[in-house]
Amino acid sequence: MDISHLNYGIIHSLIGKNDGVSIVIDQSVNAMVKDIGVGLGNIFFLAAHSSPRFNAETHEIFWHKSEINKAIIRQFSGEADDSLDQMIHTNALVAKEIIGEFVQRNNIDILIAHNTSHPYNFITAVGLGYYLEELREKNLIWPKVVVWWHDSYFERPQFSNPNPVMQKYLKYLPGVLIDGIVFINSAQPELAQRVFNRYGINNLDAFFRERTAIIPNTHDIIWDWKACDWSGDILNFPPQDSYNQSFPVDIGLAGLLETSGYTMDETLILLQHTRIVPRKKIEVAIDLAFEIEERFRKEGIRKCVVLLISGPSGDEQAKYKEFLTAYFQMKKETIQNLPVFLIYGENYILSHRDIIVDRKYYNFQEIPSVIASYGGIGTYFSETEGFGNNLLEMIAAGLPVVINKYESYKTDLEPLGFDLPCIEDALLSTDLIESTFKLATRVELRNRQVSHNLKVLSEKLGHRIISDKFYPLINRIFTRGI
């Protein structure tokens, strides 16, 4: 079946931003256009907030940080307010109407709803469920609906004990009337089957065989890394243009070094290329920064260490940034006179380059390549991830990365052959500290590891995987019954 002529509607809270879901949306759109031949004019977007793009519509009802969604997260496991049930229902009805109008106005053939298995998109999920129920009551099976399953409430301990109000609506996360599911790791299908089993769905085995696919996070390498000489001790990194040359100045790094008496050549930058949320375990990166500085001193190497956090704060309703700032300050006071610095880049980094009045903003996806050009190292100590978008971004930019071996890394990434110094259970080890020190001081070792990981990434996780798995799934949804 030719699926290139269909009209696609993509729903998520954010479109074209720095979060992992937005990244996957853009990757999937590029794959649909480039590999499947879907016209860009056949793809429509519905979100709370979107970067400027063709065919994008916005409505605040889909905002995952709205007051109602915040209340849902706060009360998910505790006692629910008397008004919560009615608030969910009322807001979900609004979402249902907006989705229905969006489908009708744009003649949508297939809706792709991202992350509606997660409580942060609760209203969107319930609204979509209401919409599907209304269609089925009218014996309508169009449009088809596919859920892109990035994360879910039963993959997070904090959502393991839903109260009765939440339980009433969980059948809509992601919903049992959908036509297909895209998972991002190999553990999720079994989890989803448990959920569907609760609701007595018919032909469940056939559904998961014919109507699901695992499409992992992917990343293409956009620089000519194969042309580099990886056998010597010359630092290799993606070509840099003039725009990013001012990055150290604008984020305050240059001024900090000047005040402290260090140069860029005397600086090791550790890049934490993630949002600032508790499950990223950024405090481990802080610990590592101090340990590496101690290691430099032991070897008589004059070098300071800077931990740069490139992603935004304020998500997942946790005051984690405040905790990190206090934790870092405690370390500074405990271990005095160590030149270790912490920089938050969120006020200078967006999803795109921009200059607003007299402030220059940098593209989030370009930051790893900028840090690679200074000989930096990535840190990624997450305790849980759906897959690892930001990890792949760092690898693709030629950064060596040190990690915590989270579960989906063990099951889906490690078997591919990546060579990443690691710890387990987010417990910093002597071996990890030593491996990081060697990466910071031995360019030939760094080159070997970086080139190996680039090779694995290019062979195993290029964007072509998206279209290779997405096209057959959509084809089966339209051509095979279950």
- For the stretch 60-79, pLDDT in tens is 999 998 999 999 988 988 88
293 pLDDT higher than 90: yes
Provide mean pLDDT across the span 254-258: 96
Select from 397, 28, 40, 365 the least CA-distant residue to 217: 28
- For the stretch 382-414, pLDDT in tens is 999 999 999 999 999 999 999 999 999 999 999
pLDDT value for 41: 95
164 pLDDT higher than 80: yes
200 pLDDT higher than 90: no
pLDDT value for 151: 85
pLDDT value for 158: 77
318 pLDDT higher than 80: no
- For the stretch 343-355, pLDDT in tens is 999 999 998 899 9
pLDDT value for 316: 63
Residue pair 29/12 in contact (Cβ under 8 Å)? The answer is no
214 pLDDT higher than 90: yes
pLDDT value for 317: 60
List Cα–Cα distances, 173 to 120, 132, 153, 208, 310, in angstroms: 11, 13, 8, 17, 31
Provide mean pLDDT across the span 264-289: 97
Residue pair 290/331 in contact (Cβ under 8 Å)? The answer is yes
Cα 199 to the chain's mean position, in Å? 30
Find the range with the poorest average confidence among 163-167, 381-385, 419-423, 477-481: 477-481
The full set of domains in the chain, from first to last, is: 8-218+464-479 (3.40.50), 225-460 (3.40.50.2000)
- For the stretch 135-161, pLDDT in tens is 999 999 899 999 999 988 777 777 888
To the nearest whole percent, how much of the chain has pLDDT over 70?
99
pLDDT value for 436: 98
pLDDT value for 203: 83
**379 contact partners, CB below 8 Å, separation of at least 6:** 270, 271, 272, 282, 284, 285, 288, 307, 401, 402, 403
Select from 91, 93, 76, 96 the least CA-distant residue to 165: 76
List Cα–Cα distances, 363 to 34, 210, 367, in angstroms: 23, 39, 7
pLDDT value for 155: 73
Question: On the CB side of 446, how many CA atoms lie within 13 Å of its CA?
Answer: 24
Rounded to 10 degrees, the C-alpha dihedral 121/279/381/301 comes to: 120
